[in-house]
Amino acid sequence: MSADRRLAPGSRIGILGGGQLGRMLALDAARLGYACHIFCPEPDAPAALVSAANTVAAYDDEAVLAAFAAAVDVVTYEFENVPAATAAFLAERLPVRPGPKVLSICQNRGREKSFLNGLGIETAPFAVICTRDDLKEALTTIGMPSVLKTMELGYDGKGQRMLNTPDEALAAFDALVGDSGKKLILEGLIDFAFEASVLVARNPEGAVACYPLVENRHANHILKETHVPAPASPQTAVSGEEIARRIAEGLALEGLIGVELFVTQEGRVLVNEMAPRPHNSGHWTQDAAVTSQFEQCVRAVCNLPLGSTVALGPAVMTNLLGDEAHDWLAILSDPKAKLHLYGKAEARAGRKMGHVNRLLD
């Protein structure tokens, strides 16, 4: 590894976004001796409360972005809905990891699936939808039930509709598009045994490290639990990790990426989506892996040797949504529970307020 390409402790990491992923990233960065500078439009963001510096500005404010670039040594993301133009502007001035191209692919479901299929990686069947006629034609090949989604900006079930009848399809098109003219994507429904994910990191020198395949269980489209390891055969587990490695190499990734997967009843592994940042399903690594996903992200973006991804044993991560975070005392009464709260002031229904990791016997 080239020592002159490493960012030594004492360097400054810029983070685009101020949510809980940035908060936990900043905490692990500080433990390794790095200072984090948060850039996001929202004041009092959870990440800003634990970081060395904080800039509150719009993502398209180029004057402020230029000052931010001058104040840090590398930039990464804590969520993928940062404008691609923002990443490109910063990349002209300093390293942005993952790069703007990776961000652009992961932000758009059409580009994402086309990229994956180009690598020979299987996804759900899909079609890009611009008009009602496009939707009618796509339904004749993809069929129903299927899912109609916005091309960009959807998460936790937002911006998508399940389609079971032609009438539902047209109503969903009108609801998601309206007068905006935005493109949609129609995806065939996968008969999966369970949903899964793999985290993979790659540093600028090309070293790659994968975490084990895990199972994800959702409630109302929001991740509720991650189970480690996934209930999969050794061949399926290896297949998931191999797919993540192929994605990391195909993207020339510099950083960390979460790869969301479907595992079918037959053990086939299909990719659903990618996120070029730490991932909710990777929170178990904080207490149940040799290296947490947040430390690994710091290692990757600073071009350091990657840490071990070995799990310390079976574990369960449980998200605390809304008022569930108020049970902190009961959770702390369990000596095996590791509580992580995000410092958010308002506990709204469905809002991710924290999580609990439990190592199992």
C-alpha–C-alpha distance, residues 293 and 199, integer Å:
8
Q: Name all domains of the chain by residue range, CATH numbers in brackets.
A: 3-107 (3.40.50.20), 125-188 (3.30.1490.20), 192-359 (3.30.470.20)
C-alpha–C-alpha distance, residues 137 and 160, integer Å:
19
Determine the 3-state secondary structure of 128 from DSSP: strand
pLDDT at position 4, please? Answer: 54
Question: Which residues in the chain come in under a pLDDT of 50?
Answer: 1-3
pLDDT at position 29, please? Answer: 98
Q: The pTM is what?
A: 0.94
| Residue 28 near residue 294 (C-beta atoms within 8 A) | yes
pLDDT at position 182, please? Answer: 82
C-alpha–C-alpha distance, residues 103 and 107, integer Å:
6
pLDDT at position 2, please? Answer: 44
pLDDT at position 180, please? Answer: 60
pLDDT at position 219, please? Answer: 93
C-alpha–C-alpha distance, residues 51 and 47, integer Å:
6
Peptide bond into 229 cis (omega under 30): yes
Amino acid at 203: N
pLDDT at position 168, please? Answer: 86
